[in-house]
Chains A and B, each alone.
Chain A
């Protein structure tokens, strides 16, 4: 009996170990694949050139810096809009709204996570872009602002759901302790819920930034795809993902085409940093604290 259990445990360990190895090798292979396919580009254009030159293929310039800036601008602004919106919504659903309304809102948020990105893109083109064009009377309306607002709408449900999960994970005993001490709803939020859900809030933020970073459709449909360096929120930009999609649709063997692997490597490293930050956060959140501030 004992040897049977041992054999089973050994089998499970081997299975999980193999799955981990296969997963890891596959992920690293994708990275290696991008580096190898991008080699012709890297042999003629150093990383410095790629990061400093402008994008002008007709002049032999293949700089992707403006795409990195465009991606940063769209992702940061979308997070800036989505974070307070999502936190507020999560607090409303968890703490303030009557039960029925809370349940309804929770369902709506869950449903929103399943809406295809292209639908958001349509809403952007036919509703948001004309609105931005009218409000600011400048440009086509296809801009960092439009893309960021739409992306904020796209990533908010993910953030709200992660926030709600982290709120629900707070031990009831902590909540009861505060209630028994006469804590108001606001005090419960400030002293127990938000500090207790800190890791969950950061996780939601990082997951949402990963989603915003990886989104292609909204950036492609609404950001305008201009290759010039953006100077204001109303400028059109091309994001890294949109660049990959645009070039892939039109080309397959030029140096211009090879730049998509440089974009891919940057996106890969960016996502890896986000993932490692998440792991670091979870690891640190399990340690008891020593309060320096009293």
Chain B
């Protein structure tokens, strides 16, 4: 098994409350690892330590080490020389509730490319590829200028996955990506995630045991801030 994420002695506090308790774990590359566990056990917080998104919250502190294996090199993501923007482009994230930005479908996908400073000429092609990859192209190809919020919930979530994937991340963090969707839309997302497995490693928080059985290669359980 080729590992891509290595966690050592990870503890996390929000104020005085301990959320994660001395977690050490490794995650395999090109696999879907499901993280399950009761509400409030620290699953979403755990995901946020891998792209350092928790640093945007006030009053949170962390100790321990998170390393990624990218391009045959081990990288401590909390090291001084790691740029936050670069890290978050390598580690994409999709949230529980679809969060398209209040702009057109096209601009939702072009924005990450623009922020990464990529040449504008390739945007059209990249947007089309990302939408095709997310099985969204046939549904939106004639309405790329429409506000992304006019899409259905399932379409919005597929757009958010396409948006995260457009920067070709090595890792995709999924925080209960289907919990706000109906059964049909959830199944579509699951199929999409399975097709993306070869392109990036996925860590998915899920409460749905049936879903975990259907898509996960590995399952880790988190209880009261500890992982097993």
Given contacts A181-B115, A182-B84, A288-B150, A173 and B106 within 8 Å (CB-CB): no
Interface residues of A in 134-191 (CB under 8 A from B): 171, 173-184, 187, 191
Residues of chain B with a CB closer than 8 A to A195's CB: 102-103
B36 within 8 A of partner (CB): no
Decide yes or no whether A192 CB sits under 8 A from chain B: yes
Given A288-B149, A294-B145: A179 and B101 within 8 A (CB)? Answer: no
- With contacts A179-B53, A182-B84 taken as known, whether A173 is within 8 angstroms of B107 at the C-beta atoms is no
Give Cα distance in the complex from A192 to B101, angstroms. 8
Chain B contacts for A176, CB-based, 8 A: 53, 56, 95, 99
Contact B85 A184 (CB under 8 A): yes
B145 to chain A, nearest CB (A): 5
Residues of A within 8 A of B85 (CB): 182-184
Task: Determine chain A's interface SS by DSSP, over half rule.
Answer: helix
B147 near A182: Cβ-Cβ < 8 Å: no
Nearest residue (CB) in B for A183 is: B115
B163 on the interface (CB 8 Å rule)?
yes
Q: Does A58 contact B (CB under 8 A)?
A: no
CB-contacts of B155-186 with A (<8 A): 160, 163-164, 167
B132 within 8 A of A: no
Would you call A173 and B95 a contact (CB within 8 A)? Answer: yes
Which chain B residues border A230 with CB–CB below 8 Å? none
Whether B106 lies near A294 (C-beta < 8 A) is yes
In the complex the two chains form, what is the Cα distance from A174 to B86 in whole Å?
A: 20
Q: Which residues of A contact B215 (CB under 8 A)?
A: none
Q: Which residues of B contact A184 (CB under 8 A)?
A: 85, 115
Residue B87, interface by CB 8 Å: yes
Most buried by B among A177, A192, A292: A177
Judge whether A196 is part of the interface by a CB distance below 8 angstroms.
Answer: yes
Contact of B102 among A99, A174, A183, A290 (CB under 8 A): A174
Q: Which among B53, B86, B146, B150 is the interface contact of A180 at CB below 8 angstroms? A: B53
* A173-B95, A191-B115, A288-B149 as given contacts; A181 in contact with B104, CB under 8 Å: no
Which residues of chain A are within 8 angstroms of B7 by Cβ–Cβ distance?
Answer: none
Q: Could you give 28 example pairs across A and B, Cβ below 8 Å?
A: A171-B99, A174-B99, A176-B53, A176-B56, A177-B101, A177-B163, A178-B101, A180-B51, A180-B92, A180-B95, A180-B164, A181-B88, A181-B89, A181-B92, A181-B112, A181-B163, A182-B86, A182-B88, A182-B89, A183-B85, A184-B115, A289-B147, A290-B146, A291-B104, A291-B145, A291-B146, A292-B145, A294-B145
Residues on B facing A (Cβ under 8 Å): 51, 53, 56, 58, 84-89, 92-93, 95, 97, 99-104, 106-107, 110-112, 115-116, 144-147, 149-150, 160, 163-164, 167
Chain A residues within 8 Å of B, Cβ to Cβ: 99, 171, 173-184, 187, 191-192, 195-196, 288-292, 294
